[in-house]
Amino acid sequence: MEIDTTPKRGDEIRLAIDEAAFEGRSVGRVNGFVVFVDGAVPGDVVKARIVKRKSNYAEAKVVSVEQASPFRVEPRCKHFGVCGGCRWQHVDYSKQLQFKEQHVVDAFERIGGLSNLNLLSILGADDIYFYRNKMEYSFADRQWVDRSTRSGAELPANLEAQKVNVFLGLHVPQRYDKVLEITECHLQSEVSNRILSYVRSFTRRRNLLPYSSRSDSGYLRFLVIRQSERTRELMVNLVTVDDRPEVMRDFTADLRSAVPETTTVVNTINSRKAQIAFGELEKVYYGDGVIHERLGEHVFTISARSFFQTNTAQAEKLFEAAKSFAELKGDEVVWDLYSGTGSIALFVSDAAREVVGIEAVESAVRDAERNAQANNVRNCMFLLGDLKERLTADTTWMQSSPKPDVMIIDPPRSGMHPKAVDEILNLAPPRIVYVSCNPMTQARDVKVLCSEKYVLTKLQPVDLFPHTYHIENVAQLLLK
């Protein structure tokens, strides 16, 4: 095959893959010209088709693997390669961990402009399958059919001819109009596969229609399954457009006999056009509408709308790392910024004098307060507010509250608002522990903190999401 030095869209080229890139892709080069490849593994030699061409790089998809990388393993899941949930199931787990470490280093060197990083060895997962305590599946009236599945077998065609008009599964990346029917998922326990099969047969038997944003009609939106890792309590939440008590009563009765492990059944009703799994009304049809999960010493009550880390065992390792970076002696005031349902605050509370959590979502603040109370933790308080306003020096609260000795920060993927970073610099706590699920925005924020007043002393990556490219990272910063 002829190698074009500047490959064009549609070209098929032979590529040696030499490194992992951001977002689960790999990199190959044609005379120095970078090609990001989907579905390849570093160490492979592949035939790849160029699908996008920009001035300084191209994007390609694997057509065939000509020489397999020694790091390739057989993926377990039959949906692998089509479903976007796992991008690295075909990569040996120890290699996945190495890629994730490299991702953290690249982010801090390239975006953070920092060098000589003190990177502690990544904390990998003991259980790399069935580790999720929550999965959210979507209903759709159209399914995604990929005729070139990994096994080469075709997915069932002509489903419309069988009058099947409810599909339940996961969205294929960047394709939100259809779902991929999921019959097995290796991320949540085996019981979730039985629930999927039950829900599919119930909704088809009753001729219940998925919500369609095109016609703004239909009933079914999402199926959310939450199962506690430690107590095994199991919540099935059907998210629908309207309130149909008779349907839900039948759904619950049949579910309880099909899947007796179910401990609570909830119906979240969201009549708005926005396709989200939250709603204006929650009705409990069985059990008490919550499950309980243990993290460290504490038990958390999780309702249908509560945020909770999806990998319980690894969340414990993450919070242990944050607690150890906080170096608490017992007399410190700790501020837990972006405190969510208070899991970090509670986790460190036994080692601090006082913990103040700040969080923008009211229901999360209420959950955090309830969790503190239920666990008999008396030295935590939780405040509602947007960080960029809460931290401004001229508020009564700021003037009257004790200043933090340690700040633990756990923002969303987008990182911190620049104004919040400025306010943290004004407050200048002696120690900052920055927990993040996105090393790129973390590196960006750390760069600002370090260019002013802080030194980055160590980094601890923790893998909460085996087989995906996601990575959590904890950074310790000390005041200069």
Ligand X SMILES: C[S@@+](CC[C@H](N)C(=O)[O-])C[C@H]1O[C@@H](n2cnc3c(N)ncnc32)[C@H](O)[C@@H]1O
Interface contacts to ligand X, rule CB under 6 A: 307, 309, 338-341, 343-344, 359-361, 364, 386-387, 410-412
For ligand X, the nearest residue by Cβ is 340
What minimum distance in Å lies between the beta carbon of 230 and ligand X?
A: 16
Residue among 79, 221, 91 at smallest CA distance from 150: 79
Token code pair at residue 223: 């199926």
What minimum distance in Å lies between the beta carbon of 408 and ligand X?
A: 8
Smaller CB distance to ligand X: residue 278 or 307? 307
Smaller CB distance to ligand X: residue 291 or 344? 344
Instruction: Report whether 478 contacts 455 (CB < 8 A).
Output: yes
Residue among 186, 146, 183 at smallest CA distance from 167: 183
CA 464/CA 310 separation, integer angstroms: 8
Cα–Cα separations (whole angstroms), residue 298 to 28, 318, 320, 327, 346: 47, 15, 13, 20, 7
Contacts of 369 (CB under 8 A, 6+ apart): 342, 382
Sequential DSSP letters for 56-103: SEEEEEEEEEEE--TTB---S-TTBTTBSS-S-TTB-HHHHHHHHHHH
What minimum distance in Å lies between the beta carbon of 283 and ligand X?
A: 24
CA 290/CA 197 separation, integer angstroms: 23
Smaller CB distance to ligand X: residue 72 or 417? 417
Instruction: Report whether 169 contacts 155 (CB < 8 A).
Output: no
Instruction: Report whether 263 contacts 237 (CB < 8 A).
Output: no
Instruction: Report whether 140 contacts 218 (CB < 8 A).
Output: no
- Burial readout 166-181 (b: 16 or more C-beta within 10 A, e: otherwise): bbbbbbbeeeeebbbb
CA 20/CA 288 separation, integer angstroms: 46
What minimum distance in Å lies between the beta carbon of 104 and ligand X?
A: 17
380 is known as an active-site residue: no
Token code pair at residue 176: 């939100």
What minimum distance in Å lies between the beta carbon of 367 and ligand X?
A: 8
- In total, the chain counts a number of residues equal to 480
What minimum distance in Å lies between the beta carbon of 409 and ligand X?
A: 9
Letter for the amino acid at 370? R
Contacts of 190 (CB under 8 A, 6+ apart): 130
What minimum distance in Å lies between the beta carbon of 77 and ligand X?
A: 27
Smaller CB distance to ligand X: residue 410 or 463? 410
Smaller CB distance to ligand X: residue 89 or 228? 228
Catalytic residue among 86, 380, 437, 450: 437
Residue among 285, 305, 136, 138 at smallest CA distance from 220: 138
Residue with tokens 């300084």: 56
Smaller CB distance to ligand X: residue 251 or 469? 469
What minimum distance in Å lies between the beta carbon of 454 and ligand X?
A: 21
Neighbours of 19 (CB within 10 A): 13
Smaller CB distance to ligand X: residue 332 or 410? 410
Smaller CB distance to ligand X: residue 360 or 425? 360
Q: List, by residue number, the catalytic residues.
A: 437
